[in-house]
Structure 1
Amino acid sequence: MLLAFLLLALQAPADPALFDAATGYRTARYRAVVPAPPEGVTRIGVDEVRALHAKGAPLIDVTPAEGAIRDPASGHWRLAMPHDSLPGAHWFPEAGRGVPAAGIESWFVMGVARVTHGSKARPLVVFCLADCWMSWNAALRLHRAGYVDVRWFADGIDGWKEAGLPVKRVVPAR
């Protein structure tokens, strides 16, 4: 009975108020259970993240920078608090919002192009925190930008820490 309920819950239509009708991106209540990866994106776990990163796959962190301000002219961020992430991660705060602030989406896509050296075939690992729709949005955004091997680490920084792995202080990508 429980299995039947869970299957029905996963198939139930999403609350349309939480999603942009034109793009399909989640636009509100980002911290909630995410039932499946976006179309064209593969969900992976911590062991696959470690293996991919060891082979050179970029780690793309889209955790929001609460209280931070980005100067659109210079691209510099004034952070309200420091951020710890997976060692070697490239942090693109706010890039996972359903409707990013002006300039964020282009900064994100151009920044990812820089860290991939322009290769859209190179595997990418996108993450945020556990139960966070921002990484889901960002993974879909990169897939739509033409990246063909986008991997979504749904457990994010929380799952990394739960596995007993170290984090490192990062600053927003330039």
Structure 2
Amino acid sequence: MIALLLPAPALAQDALFDAEGYRIAHYRAPVHSAPPGVGRIAPQAAAQLRPGRDALFIDVLPAEGGHRESDGRWRLAMPHKSIPGAHWFPEAGRGELAPGIGDWFMQGIARLTGGRRDRMLILFCRSDCWMGWNAAKRLRAQGYDNVWWLAEGVEGWTDLKRPLSRARPEGGVAP
């Protein structure tokens, strides 16, 4: 009976991150700095770039309510809006990736960059979200050296009165 009166223990800090430093729980929380080796880009600076020409904008927000079919196609529960010209890789920002997502993400990035690891990549999801951070860290760990994190995500974009457009999962298929 006494145990019921004691406060529940707080989630241990270690339970938020895996051994490699990826956030694996409570993704919607303040993020104070970019991952090591990754730059942080302000929304105003990102808005000056032309997606697909000056930089590749990579959205890693999950497919809310959606799922991936056994053949790799995404079934979406609702439309997803993103920065115009961005490439959407649902679920690629999680700390622990579902089977096939990591390979699909890395192959997609390699295809989009033409194998150039110096291509400017801007990763994002939402403000106060660790998924863009995780994905930026993951690309940096794979040798991409011009990786930027848009911490304010789509909210930072819309705060500038910039439009969003409907996005579809990159390639439509994840192996």
Q: What TM-score comes out, normalization by structure 2 length?
A: 0.87
Partner of 1:19: 17
8 Å contact kept, 2:47–2:157: no
Alignment of 1:96-111 (within 5 A): 96-111=93-108
Alignment of 1:57-72 (within 5 A): 57-72=55-70
Cα shift at 1:50: 2.3
User: What is the alpha-carbon root mean square deviation over aligned residues?
Assistant: 1.3
Taking the aligned partners of 1:93 and 1:155, their CA distance within structure 2 comes to: 18
Taking the aligned partners of 1:33 and 1:145, their CA distance within structure 2 comes to: 25
1:117 aligns with 2:95: no
Taking the aligned partners of 2:39 and 2:92, their CA distance within structure 1 comes to: 19
1:153 aligns with 2:153: no
The one of 30, 42, 46 aligned to 1:45: 42
Give the aligned length: 159
**Identical counterparts, % of pairs:** 53
SS of structure 1 residue aligned to 2:94: coil
Cα shift at 1:114: 1.0
| Residue identity matched to 1:58 | L
Taking the aligned partners of 2:84 and 2:50, their CA distance within structure 1 comes to: 10
Alignment of 1:68-147 (within 5 A): 68-72=66-70, 74-147=71-144
Taking the aligned partners of 2:43 and 2:114, their CA distance within structure 1 comes to: 24
Partner of 1:56: 54
Partner of 1:166: 163
Cα shift at 1:15: 1.2
Cα shift at 1:75: 2.5
Q: Which runs of 5+ in 2 are unaligned?
A: 1-11
Cα shift at 1:117: 1.2
Q: Which runs of 5+ in 1 are unaligned?
A: 1-13
8 Å contact kept, 1:53–1:59: no
Q: What TM-score comes out, normalization by structure 1 length?
A: 0.87
Partner of 2:5: none
8 Å contact kept, 2:61–2:125: yes
Higher CA-based Rg: 2
